[in-house]
């Protein structure tokens, strides 16, 4: 017997037929003797509709009322799934975030979970009742409903799994796992059987949209084994894959990885823009004068490259920001042209950050050199480079995205 959290995303609960299908998945686990808590998203498209209502009602609206409105999508699906389960003879009840409660901070619209007392849920699970929890929502310190930011029900699921000490958190979604790269770009991409938390965190932050980044952080911190699988599998098919699991990807501690490859995946992020500041003084305080105001304006800076000055007088600084913040970032800097003291401000929107990821890099030399050589052979120019222990990122012209990703994918032996 195991204790499981099963999470179903919006496409999996898009209508009543699909909700019944979800109920069959849940019933299968209950019949196998497991204790089950379910976390659901709103029906596909519903959250967008609700967000749209708020915007139409008033472009600048009270974030607490926004939360009251958008949290309702999950209230509906949690209740409907409980009904569908009861209809199949499964003992189940719905739980809203405030009922458990899932306590969050005060940032309405983008709240972070602070704590969940799992005691009541555990007691009910032990009595054989399925808990159907509304994802995405919680209770803020002001005693009002909060929501966790778009895609937040992944984080709800992992947080519930940590709170009830679940053996596994199963994420049922519209893809059957995590791939070595986006299969739409590289048809030879392979599904990974397992991936380490750290690697998944990089993949998710760098553009692989399977899970909300925060949910992976949370899984890593609490050691929640997380299994990504397709909700379109036949619920009644025997679960006979590896470890008694169907096709999917287990996100786990690196100790649990069986065969470790040097490179696990290639991710890419198109929503980057590059900014270069020419001829700033090469003296203490200049970087602070550039990045301080950007940070004050809440603009996230990612890759940063500063040249060694040839004459000890001036240098160039290049960095990236989210494309959506590009215009704002240029304005912040232009407004401070005098204070920073630069000759020119240049930028490019049509850039992409391609990243090679793998914990095996820690113990293998030459991975970066191989990447640069591979791109050079295809005539792809690298604008900026950053590395960490387990990843190498290069900024290139977005026209070369597919070529670069395909080249690196086969270079590191990932083609299936
Ligand atoms: N329904 C919410 C959204 O669309 C939360 C989620 O689905 O994870 O962002
Ligand atoms: Mg989602």
Task: Go through the domains of the chain in sequence order and give each one's CATH number.
Answer: 3-255 (3.40.1160.10), 265-411 (3.30.2130.10)
pLDDT of 261? 85
Cα of 18 vs centre of ligand 2, distance in Å, is 16
How does DSSP classify residue 27?
Answer: H
Evaluate: CB of 10 within 6 angstroms of ligand 1: yes
Evaluate: CB of 152 within 6 angstroms of ligand 1: yes
Of 168, 104, 160, nearest to 132 by C-alpha is: 160
In whole angstroms, what is the distance from residue 34 CA to residue 43 CA? 26
pLDDT of 238? 80
Nearest 5°: CA angle at 269, between 266 and 271?
A: 175
Cα of 153 vs centre of ligand 2, distance in Å, is 7
SS3 of residue 390 by DSSP? coil
Hey, which of 9, 38, 150 would you mutate to test ligand 1's pocket, going by the most ligand atoms within 8 Å of its Cβ?
150
pLDDT of 260? 76
pLDDT of 259? 74
Cα of 230 vs centre of ligand 1, distance in Å, is 17
pLDDT of 85? 98
Evaluate: CB of 150 within 6 angstroms of ligand 1: yes
Q: In ligand 1, which atom is closest to the CA atom of 150?
A: 9
Spatial contact of 8 and 38, defined as CB atoms under 8 Å apart: yes
319 is in an annotated binding site: no
Evaluate: CB of 137 within 6 angstroms of ligand 1: no
Token code pair at residue 363? 């113990």
pLDDT of 160? 98
SS3 of residue 345 by DSSP? strand
Cα of 212 vs centre of ligand 2, distance in Å, is 7
- Could you report the per-residue pLDDT of 186-201, keeping only the tens digit for each? 999 999 999 999 999 9
- Could you report the per-residue pLDDT of 205-235, keeping only the tens digit for each? 876 778 999 999 999 999 999 999 999 888 9
| Strand boundaries in 332-379, DSSP class E | 344-357
pLDDT of 258? 80
pLDDT of 245? 79
301 is in an annotated binding site: no
Nearest 5°: CA angle at 249, between 88 and 152?
A: 70
List of the chain residues with pLDDT < 70: 207, 242
In whole angstroms, what is the distance from residue 94 CA to residue 86 CA? 11
In whole angstroms, what is the distance from residue 101 CA to residue 99 CA? 5
332-370 per-residue burial string, b: 16 or more CB within 10 A, e: under 16: bbeebeeebebeeeebbeebbbbbbbbbbbeeeeebeeb
In whole angstroms, what is the distance from residue 239 CA to residue 152 CA? 28
179 is in an annotated binding site: yes
Cα of 123 vs centre of ligand 2, distance in Å, is 29
């Amino acid at each position: 017997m195991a204790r499981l959290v099963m999470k179903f995303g919006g496409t999996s609960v898009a209508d009543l037929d699909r909700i019944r299908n979800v109920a069959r998945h849940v019933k299968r686990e209950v019949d196998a003797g497991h204790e089950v808590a379910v976390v659901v998203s709103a029906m596909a498209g519903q959250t967008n509709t609700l967000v749209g209502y708020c915007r139409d009602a008033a472009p600048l609206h009270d974030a607490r009322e926004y939360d009251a409105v958008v949290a309702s999508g999950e209230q509906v699906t949690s209740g409907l799934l409980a009904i569908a389960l009861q209809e199949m003879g499964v003992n189940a009840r719905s739980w809203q975030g405030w009922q458990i409660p899932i306590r969050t901070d005060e940032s309405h619209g983008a709240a972070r979970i602070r704590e969940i007392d799992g005691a009541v849920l555990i007691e009910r699970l032990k009595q054989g009742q399925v808990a159907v929890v509304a994802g995405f929502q919680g209770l803020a310190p002001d005693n009002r409903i909060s929501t966790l930011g778009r895609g937040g029900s992944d984080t709800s699921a992992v947080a519930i799994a940590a709170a009830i000490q679940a053996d596994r958190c199963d994420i049922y979604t519209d893809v059957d796992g995590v791939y070595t790269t986006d299969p739409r770009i590289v048809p030879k991409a392979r599904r990974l059987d397992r991936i380490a938390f750290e690697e998944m965190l990089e993949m998710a932050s760098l553009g692989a949209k399977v899970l909300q980044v925060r949910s992976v952080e949370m899984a890593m911190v609490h050691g929640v084994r997380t299994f990504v699988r397709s909700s379109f599998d036949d619920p009644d098919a025997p679960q006979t894959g590896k470890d008694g699991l169907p096709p999917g990807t287990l996100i786990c501690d690196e100790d649990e990885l069986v065969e470790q490859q040097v490179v696990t995946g290639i991710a890419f992020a198109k929503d980057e823009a590059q900014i270069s500041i020419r001829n700033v003084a090469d003296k203490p305080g200049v970087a602070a004068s550039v990045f301080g105001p950007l940070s004050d304006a809440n603009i996230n800076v990612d890759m940063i490259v500063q040249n060694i000055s040839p004459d000890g007088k001036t240098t160039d600084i290049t960095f990236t920001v989210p494309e959506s913040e590009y215009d704002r970032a240029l304005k912040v800097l232009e407004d401070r042209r005098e204070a920073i003291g630069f000759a020119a401000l240049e930028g490019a929107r049509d850039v992409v950050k391609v990243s090679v990821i793998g914990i095996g890099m820690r113990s293998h030399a030459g991975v970066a050199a191989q990447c640069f050589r591979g791109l050079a052979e295809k005539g792809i120019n690298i604008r900026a480079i950053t590395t960490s222990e387990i990843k190498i990122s290069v900024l290139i012209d977005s026209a070369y995205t597919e070529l670069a990703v395909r080249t690196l994918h086969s270079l590191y032996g990932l083609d299936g």
